[in-house]
């Protein structure tokens, strides 16, 4: 073999040239790879930095306040040394739940329409329109909620303010639609056509086929879309803060002022001195939010895995 290669280099064969080019390519590849690697590292460092930034004040708080009293305390009164965030946590969960209740059915219907019923022409109009929803700044949602939705609820409910979980749930429900619809639509489209045709060939209507074959088959993907919507809703701040009424009590109704973790953080962060227990408590609330979001993302990954496993099993 070595003899052959010396014979070739003697006449500067194309093989030699090729080796040289390949070498240069490898250099360029190394540079690019380094660049991408650096970006990825930067991301990891950012996330770690955020964890540390939030975690340190939170730990400082837990030196003074028992985590139990923090998580399940019903009273938020920093001036009296009470740092219970249950009202905010409950508010966040309730607002998110309302969002899912309102946005879920609406979004699923929209996704079914886009994936299975809409003509190509209607799809061309609807898709950008839905994506536009995602581009509206949340303060605009909040503004519309505050000036249109809250007065509307006040007028029709007889309540004094109209602020509360109902308004927040409606606003959040609309806000999660773009994410939910596009992901749920993808899940519906991923259902193999042969089982759809298999159902139609049995003399079922299009609606029966959608309800009994396509939706069940797409369900893991739809659930993942819902969880991602939840993650978006629970972190939403501005729009919620504007329509929720901001009262630090556990919500007892849909049209009573309440608070969420996010709305409370944004409300108090300017008024608490840095390093004070109250300020540390806000960071701890941030940590709580982060953990909830992380939990949701883990859940999404789990349902996704289940979804792909299911499809692979079926085919």
Partner 1 sequence: MTTETMSLPTMVPPAREATSAAPETTRAAARGETDPEPQPAVRVRDLSVTYGTTLGIKGVDLDLPERSVTALIGPSGCGKSTFLRALNRMNELFPGVATSGEVLVRWDGRFQDIYAPGVDLVELRKRVGMVFQRPNPFPKSIVENVIYGPRRHGVTDRALLAEAAEEALRQAALWDEVKDKLNAPAAALSGGQQQRLCIARALAVRPDVVLMDEPTASLDPISTGKIEDLLGKLSKDYTIVIVTHSLQQAARVSEKTAFFLNGELVEAAPTLQMMTNPRDRRTENYVTGRFG
> Which positions touch partner 1 (CB under 8 A)?
192, 194-195, 197-206, 208, 212-213, 216-217, 310, 313-314
Which residue, 40 or 202, has its beta carbon nearer to partner 1? 202
CA separation, residue 249 to residues 203, 226, 245, 252, 256 (Å)? 55, 28, 11, 8, 10
Which residue, 118 or 139, has its beta carbon nearer to partner 1? 118
- Work out how close the CB of 306 gets to partner 1 at its nearest, in angstroms, rounded to a whole number: 12
- Work out how close the CB of 213 gets to partner 1 at its nearest, in angstroms, rounded to a whole number: 6
Which residue, 79 or 194, has its beta carbon nearer to partner 1? 194
Question: What DSSP letter does each residue of 54-84 carry, written as one string?
Answer: HHHHHHHHHHHS-HHHHHH---EEGGGTEE-
d(CA 197, CA 213): 10
- Work out how close the CB of 303 gets to partner 1 at its nearest, in angstroms, rounded to a whole number: 15
The size of the chain, in residues, is 315
Which residue, 186 or 306, has its beta carbon nearer to partner 1? 306
230 neighbors 200 (Cβ within 8 angstroms): no
Which residue, 177 or 222, has its beta carbon nearer to partner 1? 222
Closest CA to 181 of 235, 112, 96, 121: 112
- Work out how close the CB of 182 gets to partner 1 at its nearest, in angstroms, rounded to a whole number: 23
DSSP E strand stretches across the chain: 76-77, 82-83
- Work out how close the CB of 128 gets to partner 1 at its nearest, in angstroms, rounded to a whole number: 23
């Amino acid at each position: 073999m070595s003899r052959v290669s010396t014979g070739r280099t003697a006449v500067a064969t194309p093989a030699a040239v090729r080796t040289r080019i390949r070498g240069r390519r490898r250099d360029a590849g190394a540079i690019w790879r380094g660049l991408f690697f650096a970006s990825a590292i930067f991301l990891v460092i950012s996330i770690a930095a955020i964890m540390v930034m939030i975690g340190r004040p939170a730990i400082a708080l837990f030196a003074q306040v028992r985590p139990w009293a923090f998580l399940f305390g019903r009273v938020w009164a920093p001036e009296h040394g009470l740092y219970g965030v249950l009202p905010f946590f409950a508010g966040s969960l309730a607002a998110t739940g309302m969002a899912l209740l309102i946005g879920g059915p609406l979004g699923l219907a929209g996704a079914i329409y886009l994936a299975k019923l809409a003509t190509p022409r209607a799809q061309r109009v609807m898709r950008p329109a839905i994506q536009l929803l995602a581009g509206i700044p949340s303060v605009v949602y909040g503004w519309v909620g505050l000036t249109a939705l809250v007065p509307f609820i006040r007028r029709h409910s007889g309540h004094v303010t109209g602020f509360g979980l109902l308004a927040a749930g409606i606003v959040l429900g609309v806000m999660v639609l773009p994410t939910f619809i596009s992901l749920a639509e993808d899940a519906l489209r991923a259902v193999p056509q042969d089982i759809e045709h298999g159902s139609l060939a049995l003399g079922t209507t299009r609606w029966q086929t959608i309800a009994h074959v396509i939706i069940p088959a797409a369900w893991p993907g739809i659930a993942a879309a819902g969880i991602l919507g939840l993650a978006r809703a629970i972190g939403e701040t501005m729009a919620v803060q504007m329509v929720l009424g901001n009262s630090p009590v556990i919500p007892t109704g849909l049209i009573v002022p309440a608070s969420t973790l996010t709305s409370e953080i944004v409300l108090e962060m300017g008024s608490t001195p840095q390093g004070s227990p109250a300020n540390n408590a806000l960071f701890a609330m941030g940590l709580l939010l982060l953990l909830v979001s992380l939990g949701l993302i883990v859940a999404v990954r789990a349902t996704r895995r289940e979804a792909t496993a299911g499809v692979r099993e079926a085919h």
